[in-house]
Amino acid sequence: MPRPTQLLHPSHSPAPTRAAATLLLLRDGAEGLEVLLTRRSAQARFAPGAYVFPGGGLDAADAQSHELASRRPQQDDMQLTHAIAAIRESFEELGVLLALHADGRWVEQPDIDALDRQGDFAAQCAARGLTLAADRVYWLAHWITDRDLPIRFDVPFMVARMPDGQQPVADESEQFEPVWLRPQDALARHAAGELHLIHPTIRTLEWLGAQASVDAVLALSATTEQPLWTSCPRGGWLGGRKVSVMEHEPAYGELELSCPDGQLLHRLDWQSEQAVGLLRNVQRLTAANPGFMTGPGTNSYLVGDPATGHVAIDPGPDEPEHIERLWRAAGGDIRAIVCTHSHPDHSPGAARLQTLVEQTGRPKPPILGLCSGPHSRHDSHFTPERELADGEQLRLCGPAGEARHTLRVLHTPGHAANHVCLLLEEDGLLFSGDHVLNGSTTVVAPPDGNMNDYLDSLDRLLAVCAEWQVGFILPAHGHVLGHAAQAIERLKAHRLAREAKVAAAMRALPDGQLDDWVRLAYDDAPERLWPVAKLSLQAHVQRIESLGGFNV
């Protein structure tokens, strides 16, 4: 993991979380699934005026009321306590009570009207012989409030069917205006500015909108006593406003690297005018070459600091403005230029950057990498001034000669025969070039690309992650990836799953050609992507044939 001395921002302790529980009450409406939302008080300290699902903090009495509740065999004490808290909060806030009489009848409105919503909840239920229907409450999701907020909750989102014969009535203190809405309608009203929703509510509604009925939701939730997802989002700035990013989204790793304690300080907008600081010793400058194959553009990286000078990784295309910005971001002090491979969006700018450094009176930085292979594309011929050796270390030293930043060279053929990745040893960072990308899957195009080599290189990177405790991957396209080993494992699994589809297509059409197989193997991708997909498909076909054919 990155050294604390290299973090951009001072250490910050997020506010502690408070245990809470939330209940999504569901019903099947005439036009589909509906969920009950209610507006929070405009004076509330947390999410004032937002439409939310009923819920609140746990009371000590919730854990002492287990004997009043029914439970599934799989529900542990903690889950039962949360279910009881969710039932209690729904009763206090909206007058909805998930409870049954001794004869198995659901409580109805006259029963609820006889109860004091401000009184001792457990005592009243016990006095009337009611059993809390905790066994009908299922755990859907687990949300932990963003680290940058001053008030935070650790809260299960639970689901249950709305009992018949009851009518939600807000307490007019904490909650107001209960309303039944289809998830899609709630989201549309939010987009139109009519309904204020907070991030966990939005994401949960997005998930609910894909479900057909209450039965479907409960069936999915009942498959496990664990949440279907858990998230503690991270906040960043995008388009001038705060956005909350979940763990599976592309920008999460970058926020985790740049602001590990959750400070709301990092901007996620793609721009090419200035370098973006990721750590004190790592900057990224994205070339102004966005496109179908490059995403937001090619990422050039600077590793180092003013005392050690810098190594420039992937100077990118030969664009004068980009090269000058890269040079300025390094304060003109670039000690070496490394190209991860020879493709035209990565290496052509090396010569211009070298010349710019030399013209300002500094020593000429060597251009390093591997020579392009014999089968490289006509636009990808590259000859470095010195070839890097696999395992070689490039050191940036301080004034006393001590090594401060060490880049280890890893030969990783597959995307290109001359591809290398770089490991920043002291901080556990992997500069992955095009071998691992964020937001897309790299193309492996024969003959220079080779799928066997590509998968073997992924295995090597997994071993490096384990040995060096690599936490983050800095790709040539897209944001920083967190949880490096898991990201590589997912990528390998995706490749092998695609290969299985390729083999199935070959079996289905044994006399077919690439154009025939791509329609089957990439039926989940837009047709406009098939010409590019066909390149990787060819690499998969070659690998399948090297393993003995599609019947193996």
3-class DSSP assignment, residue 21: strand
Please state, in angstroms and rounded to a whole number, the distance separating the CA atoms of residues 309 and 432.
Answer: 22
Question: Are the beta carbons of 481 and 472 closer than 8 angstroms?
Answer: yes
Indicate whether 190 and 126 sit together in one domain.
Answer: yes
Please state, in angstroms and rounded to a whole number, the distance separating the CA atoms of residues 548 and 533.
Answer: 23
Indicate whether 428 and 509 sit together in one domain.
Answer: no
Read off the amino acid at residue 511. D
Ordered DSSP codes for 26-65? EEEETTEEEEEEEEEPTT-SSSTT-EE-SEEEPPHHHHT-
Please state, in angstroms and rounded to a whole number, the distance separating the CA atoms of residues 209 and 222.
Answer: 18
Question: Are the beta carbons of 487 and 447 closer than 8 angstroms?
Answer: no
The confidence score (pLDDT) of residue 42 equals: 85
- 80 membership: H or E segment, kind and range: helix 77-94
Indicate whether 36 and 100 sit together in one domain.
Answer: yes
The confidence score (pLDDT) of residue 551 equals: 64
Report the CATH number at residue 378: 3.60.15.10
Rounded to the nearest 5°, which phi and psi values hold at 431?
Answer: -90, 110
0.75 exceeded by pTM: yes
Per-residue pLDDT of the chain (552 residues; tens, 9 = 90+): 899 999 999 998 999 999 999 999 999 999 999 999 999 988 888 889 999 999 999 999 999 999 999 999 999 999 999 999 999 999 999 999 999 999 999 999 999 999 999 999 999 999 999 999 999 999 999 999 999 999 999 999 999 999 999 999 998 888 889 999 999 999 999 999 999 999 999 999 999 999 999 999 999 999 988 999 999 999 999 999 999 999 999 999 999 999 999 999 999 999 999 999 999 999 999 999 999 889 999 999 999 999 999 999 999 999 999 999 999 999 999 999 999 999 999 999 999 999 999 999 999 999 999 999 888 887 888 999 999 999 999 999 999 989 999 999 999 999 999 999 999 999 999 999 999 999 889 999 999 999 999 999 999 999 999 999 999 999 999 999 999 999 999 999 999 999 999 999 999 999 999 999 999 999 999 999 999 999 999 999 999 999 987 665
Q: What does the block give as tokens for 544? A: 């399948």
Question: Are the beta carbons of 221 and 139 closer than 8 angstroms?
Answer: yes
Number of structural domains the chain divides into: 4
Indicate whether 73 and 153 sit together in one domain.
Answer: yes
Question: Are the beta carbons of 484 and 465 closer than 8 angstroms?
Answer: yes
Q: Which residues contact 498 (CB under 8 A, 6 or more apart)?
A: 521, 536, 540
Indicate whether 339 and 456 sit together in one domain.
Answer: yes
Residue 119 lies in a domain: yes
Q: Which of 486, 512, 538 is the last residue of a domain?
A: 486
Residue 25 lies in a domain: yes
Q: What does the block give as tokens for 516? A: 């025939």
Residue reference for tokens 């039932």: 87
3-state helix, strand, coil in the chain (%, to 5): 30, 25, 45
Please state, in angstroms and rounded to a whole number, the distance separating the CA atoms of residues 69 and 61.
Answer: 13
The confidence score (pLDDT) of residue 355 equals: 97
Indicate whether 110 and 140 sit together in one domain.
Answer: yes
Residue 9 lies in a domain: no
Question: Are the beta carbons of 12 and 149 closer than 8 angstroms?
Answer: no
Residue 11 lies in a domain: no
Residue 3 lies in a domain: no
Question: Are the beta carbons of 518 and 534 closer than 8 angstroms?
Answer: yes
Report the CATH number at residue 22: 3.90.79.10
Indicate whether 140 and 262 sit together in one domain.
Answer: no
**495 closest CA partner among 546, 458, 529, 545:** 458
Residue 249 lies in a domain: yes
Indicate whether 159 and 294 sit together in one domain.
Answer: no
Indicate whether 253 and 175 sit together in one domain.
Answer: no
The residue range of the domain holding 107 is 18-232
Please state, in angstroms and rounded to a whole number, the distance separating the CA atoms of residues 486 and 138.
Answer: 29
Per-position b or e across 123-140, b if 16+ CB within 10 A of its CB? eebeeeebbbbbbbbbbb
Q: Which of 171, 204, 232 is the last residue of a domain?
A: 232
Residue 259 lies in a domain: yes
Q: Which residues contact 379 (CB under 8 A, 6 or more apart)?
A: 343, 344
Indicate whether 224 and 94 sit together in one domain.
Answer: yes
- 499 membership: H or E segment, kind and range: helix 484-508
The confidence score (pLDDT) of residue 245 equals: 97
Question: Are the beta carbons of 328 and 281 closer than 8 angstroms?
Answer: no
Residue 178 lies in a domain: yes
Query: 447 preceded by cis ω (within 30°)?
Result: yes
Indicate whether 228 and 263 sit together in one domain.
Answer: no
| Residues making up the chain, counted from first to last | 552
Please state, in angstroms and rounded to a whole number, the distance separating the CA atoms of residues 137 and 552.
Answer: 47
Indicate whether 153 and 221 sit together in one domain.
Answer: yes
Q: What does the block give as tokens for 210? A: 């894909």
Q: For residue 222, how far is the Cα from the chain centroid?
A: 26
Question: Are the beta carbons of 511 and 550 closer than 8 angstroms?
Answer: no
DSSP 73: T
Ordered DSSP codes for 538-551? HHHHHHHHHTT-TT
Please state, in angstroms and rounded to a whole number, the distance separating the CA atoms of residues 422 and 406.
Answer: 9
